Structure 1
Amino acid sequence: MRLGITMFATDLTMPPHELAREAEDRGFASLYVPEHTHIPVARETPPPTGDAALAPEYARTLDPFVALAAAAAVTERITLGTGILLPAQREPIVTAKAVATLDRIAGGRVALGVGYGWNAEEGADHGVPWKRRRAVVREHVLAMRELWTRDEASFKGEFVSFEPSWSWPKPAGRVPVLLGGAPGPTLFAHIAEYGDGWMPIGGAGIREALPDLRRACADAGRDMVPVVPFGTVPSAEKLGYYASIGVEEVVLRVPGGGRDAVLPVLDEYARTYL
């Protein structure tokens, strides 16, 4: 089983390019970093963690593509991913260019963990029709795929439309898109249509959901896609459970802090689980 890591990277934490290099040196397979463009001060949306107040780190996240480009420059093997990207809040033509450029720099090592977002006020500042955000994400990802794969790309949808266009560079390889979210028919239909895997946070309910995901993929004429549990605090029992249900990669959580806080955890994870 491959083990990756994720850290809530901010301007106050260990720089992600240093973390990527240290993770690669220890044998970890991937590094994922999150995205929030901003956090509106006045907010009715409750924190996704269930806490009374939103943690300050949400307002301090780095731009994921700039951070991962720095990581790509100092690593050779580790997968570099977003965990998670918010495509509904991004202009897809510009984002497609950024992803393709990053994948070229990284030599085909980029993965996109994407989600639908939880912060309605943040989305509103980007003009996202909140109740339609899943449809927006779908079109943005499909439009980016057109730009990544076709010499003359075009797209006509409800939220994205562009005439036949040239856009290079193309990614060095196929950029996998891993959709995050709780299990359910809508998510699994989207994964089967345009995703390359499911990235659930934590492990609750994965075993029970696998038949539904497998069925959705079969209905779309596809093989079963990978499941990549995200943000896991590891234990031997938990990793053994994942292995028993066919999971091939797990992304472990490390604390959002400086080198003194992060590296001992990396060392413990490497010593215990790699």
Structure 2
Amino acid sequence: MRIATTIFLTDETISPVRLARELEQRGFAGLFLPQHTHIPVSRDTPAPTGDPLPPEYGRAVDPFVALAQAAAVTHRIVVGTGVALVAQNDPIVLAKQVATLDFLSGGRFTFGIGYGWNVEEATDHGVEWSTRRALVRDRMALMRALWSGEPTAYEGEFDAVGASWAHPKPVHPPRERKGAEPLVGPRTLIGGTAGPKLFAHIAEYADGWMPVGGSGLRETLPELRRVWTEAGRPGEPDVVPYAVHPSAGKLAHYAGLGIEELVVALPSAPEAEVLRALDAHAEFL
């Protein structure tokens, strides 16, 4: 089982360069970073981890800049977002960032995406909360147009782009989809709570699911796999439990479900504490 890591890197934690080197030397599979542009002080939205919201949410570094540093000093580990808030990004700029990072890392980028939880943060980006899922779907389609091999125009419900020269292209090869154009771009995993709408979107325009914590998978995985097959996607979706606090029992449970990859949580902390956490997780490698 491949074991990657996630952490809120901030201006007060271990650096992305030091962490990436330690991960590669120790045999971990990758580094995933979250995205928050800012956290409004007037937040009314309940925090997913419970209130008070940990301070690292408002101190998080930009994941694309930090992952570029991590990729530059490593050769093997996956670098990924966990998750990028697509609705809060200009899709043309985001397409360039994603393609560039995938290209410069030699195809090691995984695009973890999500719909967000902080209404106030999204509002500052001009996002209408009730339509954010449709907005993400639309922006992913626009980005795929820019990642296509030939200049391709796209006009959707929310965004549009004319046929354009847009290089570099992501390294990952196209993936077949029944009755639709092949899926282009880096490996894409969608985070979120299990449900018909989420599973339909995964089967339509992603490569798999990134469930936080990974609880309840015995009940939900069969449904995701059914939706995937009915959508004409070959094989099975990648399922990567995220921000897991590992134990031998959990890993055995995941392995029994056919899961081959997970992401363990590291503390948002200075170097010494993070390295101690890596030492504790190393027994599971």
TM-score interval for Structure 1 and Structure 2 normalised by the shorter chain? over 0.9
Cα deviation for residue 172 of structure 1 reads 2.2
Cα deviation for residue 242 of structure 1 reads 0.3
Q: Which residue of 2 aligns with 1:121?
A: 120
Looking at structure 2, the residues matched to 17 and 146 of structure 1 have their Cα atoms a distance apart, in angstroms, of 33
Cα deviation for residue 235 of structure 1 reads 0.2
SS of the residue corresponding to residue 170 of structure 1 reads: coil
Q: Which residue of 1 aligns with 2:181?
A: none
Which residue of 223, 229, 250 maps to 2:241?
Answer: 229
1:246-257 matches, cutoff 5 A: 246-257=258-269
Runs (4+) off by over 6 Å:
none
Which residue of 204, 214, 225 maps to 1:193?
Answer: 204
Cα deviation for residue 84 of structure 1 reads 0.7
> Are the aligned partners of 2:142 and 2:161 in contact in 1 as well (CA < 8 Å)?
no
Q: Which residue of 2 aligns with 1:27?
A: 27
Q: Which residue of 2 aligns with 1:12?
A: 12
Looking at structure 2, the residues matched to 55 and 13 of structure 1 have their Cα atoms a distance apart, in angstroms, of 14
Looking at structure 1, the residues matched to 51 and 243 of structure 2 have their Cα atoms a distance apart, in angstroms, of 21
Looking at structure 1, the residues matched to 82 and 141 of structure 2 have their Cα atoms a distance apart, in angstroms, of 19
| Match status 1:162 vs 2:174 | no
Q: Which residue of 1 aligns with 2:177?
A: none
> Residue by residue, what CA displacement relative to the aligned partner does 1:91-124 show, whole Å, maximum 9, x if unpaired?
1111000111111111110001110000001000
> Are the aligned partners of 1:151 and 1:167 in contact in 2 as well (CA < 8 Å)?
no
Looking at structure 1, the residues matched to 272 and 111 of structure 2 have their Cα atoms a distance apart, in angstroms, of 29
Q: TM-score normalised to the size of structure 1?
A: 0.97
> Residue by residue, what CA displacement relative to the aligned partner does 1:44-72 show, whole Å, maximum 9, x if unpaired?
111111x2311111111111110011111
> Are the aligned partners of 2:188 and 2:208 in contact in 1 as well (CA < 8 Å)?
yes
Over the aligned positions, Cα root-mean-square deviation in angstroms equals 0.9
SS of the residue corresponding to residue 158 of structure 1 reads: coil
Q: Which residue of 2 aligns with 1:239?
A: 251
Looking at structure 2, the residues matched to 18 and 137 of structure 1 have their Cα atoms a distance apart, in angstroms, of 33
| Match status 1:42 vs 2:47 | no
Q: Which runs of 5+ in 2 are unaligned?
A: 173-184
SS of the residue corresponding to residue 62 of structure 1 reads: coil
| Match status 1:260 vs 2:259 | no
> Are the aligned partners of 1:29 and 1:79 in contact in 2 as well (CA < 8 Å)?
yes
Cα deviation for residue 234 of structure 1 reads 0.3
Looking at structure 2, the residues matched to 16 and 145 of structure 1 have their Cα atoms a distance apart, in angstroms, of 28
Q: Which residue of 2 aligns with 1:59?
A: 58
